[in-house]
A and B are shown apart, each in its own frame.
Chain A
Amino acid sequence: MGELSRLTLAEARDRLRARDFTAAELTDDCLAAAEAAAVLNAFTPPTPDLARAQAAAADARLAKGDAPDLCGVPLGIKDLFCVEGAPAQAASRILEGFRPPYESTVTARLRERGAVMLGKLNMDEFAMGSSTETSAFGPAISPWRRRGDAAPLTPGGSSGGSAAAVAADLCLGATGTDTGGSIRQPAAFTGIVGVKPTYGRCSRWGIVAFASSLDQAGPMAKSVTDAAILLSAMAGHDPKDSTSANRPDEDFAAGLKGDLRGRRIGVPREYRVDGMPAEIEALWAKGSDMLRDAGAEIVEISLPHTKYALPAYYVIAPAEASSNLARYDGVRYGRRARIGAGDGVTELYERTRAEGFGREVQRRIMVGAYVLSAGFYDAYYLRAQKVRTLIKRDFEQAFDAGVDAILTPATPSAAFGIGDMADADPVQMYLNDVFTVTVNLAGLPGVSVPAGLDAAGLPLGLQLIGRPWDEKGMLDAAFALERACGFAAKPGQWW
């Protein structure tokens, strides 16, 4: 078990086409690995019948020689995506029992290309969180542990189940979504690659909405090449999402060379935040050196409004969430609370939402309701939207000055322990997003690349931020970084 599930997506694709093994064998190996790793709580759980049926169909296509890149490749799908025939709960009690009668555009694209879905993956409730601890399914557990220490660590969040499943080799790749860092932070915590595409690159149709102007789906994978292959399948125009960009499909994996000659990489001085561990500072400097060695010119840049990104985000995202989550009312789908004989529809709404939403989701809905309410809208929401304009302008000015991509740390620390933040102020958890959230506010593409281990043996990631629609250039820089870092560490198998 695990010999096949440990392969990269690109290796599996080539060997499936060479008929070294079948999609059915590969799928069974992943299902066995997933079953043996139940303690990681990455899946919600696997859906083996669906997976085996898809694997059989993929084998038939492979036999005919009609095999797109993903044909027969077993993937995990974040529970935020609606997949026909499987429950979709967004890791929330309020969607208990919901079976979507439709398929998200991103998963439909994966299906059309022959991908096999092993099951839905754990996440923070409605993607609100940085540790998967807000999940109604209980937290996902990282396959990584500190050296000589059995304390369970978080795989990050909100796409923590996706990160744990990829890092533990339970699948060959996974989908995630990223509203403020929810792909890149868990990727960094677990030593894998995570890509948040340009806003509008992947259709949001059929993905449970959190903050619609910030949400983007993206791949989580074992290498930059794998992430590029997955992104090529996930991305593309969709008339069903009015913010989906009308651009032709691209092959992001073609032509990855890691040759950065003539390219300029910016290093923003405002990302040198107070209290940043020396290890992260050193890793960042090492990353700059590596990109310079690959031919890039490294320049210091300024993104002066960076420090206002987190407060702006935590106005805008809850405001959008409070609107989006208004639909969960116990009437059309999901859980409905019992009410008394004399109670009316308002009590039905209020009790259903009190029982169905976890504490962090309730908090964000209330913050959103507050900042949008009469008398406070201008002071909070409108002001945050203006600050968002300034944050985007900072990036535009850097790109206009000739910068091709920007290098930053992915997270302000390595993974923390499950329960470590239980007594912390909610704002402490929000600080996890400090390096990633600007990218969502500005609609840019970002990628987290595993770059090294800290003193306790935990992965650390670096982030590259690209120009809008230049995923290709960004991924080429990521490819150079990946090659130079040579990150090959894997978690020891304790489960």
Chain B
Amino acid sequence: MSIDKETARRVAHLARIEVAESDLDRVAAELSGILGFMEQLRDVDVSGIEPMTSVTPMALPLREDRITAGGEPERILGNAPDARRGFFAVPKVVE
């Protein structure tokens, strides 16, 4: 599977990573190489095989539905690049 420049642009946007126009060809070539390596998986007969969803056979545990933490907005916001009046601040989203 060869990735063209347009696909690379689309994948970069899906990944929310800005890639300069001049880098798109390099990114496309690298992704093509990696995906080419994965083509081997087509040789495996997987008919009737269940996809793995849990490596150890265990049911997810349930816990009591009870509040065990919270009420500490200063700690939550302490690492934010921009926090104002108890909120994370971002550029305007709604016009």
Q: Which residues of A contact B (CB under 8 A)?
A: 97-99, 101, 198-200, 213, 239, 242-243, 245-246, 305, 307-308, 310-312, 314-315, 322, 326, 329-336, 339, 343-351, 353-354, 357, 362-363, 365-371, 373, 380, 382-390, 392, 425-427, 430, 441-443, 468
Cβ B88 vs Cβ A312 within 8 A: no
Task: Give CA–CA (A98, B41) in the complex, Å.
Answer: 39
| Nearest CB in chain B: distance from A79 CB, A | 16
Cβ A331 vs Cβ B90 within 8 A: yes
Q: Which of B3, B51, B79, B90 contacts A99 (CB 8 A)?
A: B79
Does B75 sit at the interface, judged by CB under 8 A? Answer: yes
Given contacts A371-B38, A384-B38, A427-B33, 10 further A-B contacts (CB under 8 A): A98-B79, A310-B37, A331-B81, A332-B80, A336-B81, A344-B91, A350-B17, A370-B31, A388-B52, A390-B49
Cβ A389 vs Cβ B44 within 8 A: no
| Nearest CB in chain A: distance from B81 CB, A | 4
Q: Which residues of B contact A (CB under 8 A)?
A: 3, 8, 11-19, 27, 30-31, 33-35, 37-44, 46, 49-56, 58, 60-61, 63, 75, 78-82, 88, 90-93
Cβ B80 vs Cβ A385 within 8 A: no
Cβ A383 vs Cβ B41 within 8 A: yes
Task: Give CA–CA (A1, B49) in the complex, Å.
Answer: 58
Residue from A305, A307, A335, A362 having most chain B Cβ neighbours under 10 A: A362
Cβ A330 vs Cβ B81 within 8 A: yes
In the A-B complex, the 9 residue pairs with the smallest Cβ-Cβ separation, listed nearest first, are A443-B55, A385-B51, A336-B81, A333-B79, A350-B18, A354-B18, A386-B46, A369-B15, A369-B14
| Nearest CB in chain A: distance from B39 CB, A | 8
For B82, list chain A residues within 8 Å (CB): 336
CB-nearest residue of chain B relative to A239? Answer: B63
For B35, list chain A residues within 8 Å (CB): 367, 370, 380
Cβ A354 vs Cβ B41 within 8 A: no
Residue from A97, A101, A326 having most chain B Cβ neighbours under 10 A: A101
Q: Known interface pairs A314-B37, A336-B81, A380-B38. Does A386 touch B15 (Cβ–Cβ under 8 Å)?
A: no
| Nearest CB in chain B: distance from A73 CB, A | 30
Cβ A345 vs Cβ B38 within 8 A: no
For A443, list chain B residues within 8 Å (CB): 55-56
CB-nearest residue of chain A relative to B60? Answer: A242
Task: Give CA–CA (A441, B31) in the complex, Å.
Answer: 23
Q: Known interface pairs A246-B61, A314-B37, A370-B35. Does A199 touch B17 (Cβ–Cβ under 8 Å)?
A: no
CB-nearest residue of chain A relative to B20? Answer: A354
| Nearest CB in chain B: distance from A471 CB, A | 14
For A369, list chain B residues within 8 Å (CB): 11, 14-15
Task: Give CA–CA (A99, B80) in the complex, Å.
Answer: 11
For B42, list chain A residues within 8 Å (CB): 383
Cβ A383 vs Cβ B40 within 8 A: no
Task: Give CA–CA (A373, B39) in the complex, Å.
Answer: 17
CB-nearest residue of chain B relative to A346? Answer: B16
Q: Known interface pairs A365-B17, A383-B46. Does A314 touch B78 (Cβ–Cβ under 8 Å)?
A: no
For B39, list chain A residues within 8 Å (CB): 311
Task: Give CA–CA (A443, B54) in the complex, Å.
Answer: 9
Task: Give CA–CA (A347, B50) in the complex, Å.
Answer: 40
For B63, list chain A residues within 8 Å (CB): 239
| Nearest CB in chain B: distance from A17 CB, A | 37
Q: Known interface pairs A363-B31, A385-B53. Does A357 touch B17 (Cβ–Cβ under 8 Å)?
A: yes
CB-nearest residue of chain B relative to A444? Answer: B55
- Can you give 22 contacting A-B residue pairs, CB < 8 Å? A213-B54, A311-B41, A314-B37, A331-B81, A333-B80, A334-B81, A335-B81, A345-B90, A347-B18, A348-B91, A354-B17, A365-B15, A366-B8, A368-B15, A369-B14, A371-B38, A380-B41, A383-B46, A385-B52, A392-B52, A426-B33, A430-B37
Cβ A390 vs Cβ B44 within 8 A: yes
Cβ B79 vs Cβ A353 within 8 A: no
For A322, list chain B residues within 8 Å (CB): 15
For B54, list chain A residues within 8 Å (CB): 213, 243
Q: Which of A98, A199, A353, A468 contacts B18 (CB 8 A)?
A: A353
Residue from B13, B16, B39, B40 having most chain A Cβ neighbours under 10 A: B16
For A239, list chain B residues within 8 Å (CB): 61, 63
Cβ A367 vs Cβ B31 within 8 A: yes
Q: Known interface pairs A246-B61, A311-B37, A442-B55. Does A389 touch B50 (Cβ–Cβ under 8 Å)?
A: yes
| Nearest CB in chain A: distance from B84 CB, A | 12
For A99, list chain B residues within 8 Å (CB): 78-79
Residue from B12, B50, B82, B93 having most chain A Cβ neighbours under 10 A: B12
Cβ B53 vs Cβ A311 within 8 A: no
Task: Give CA–CA (A347, B16) in the complex, Å.
Answer: 9
Cβ A314 vs Cβ B44 within 8 A: no
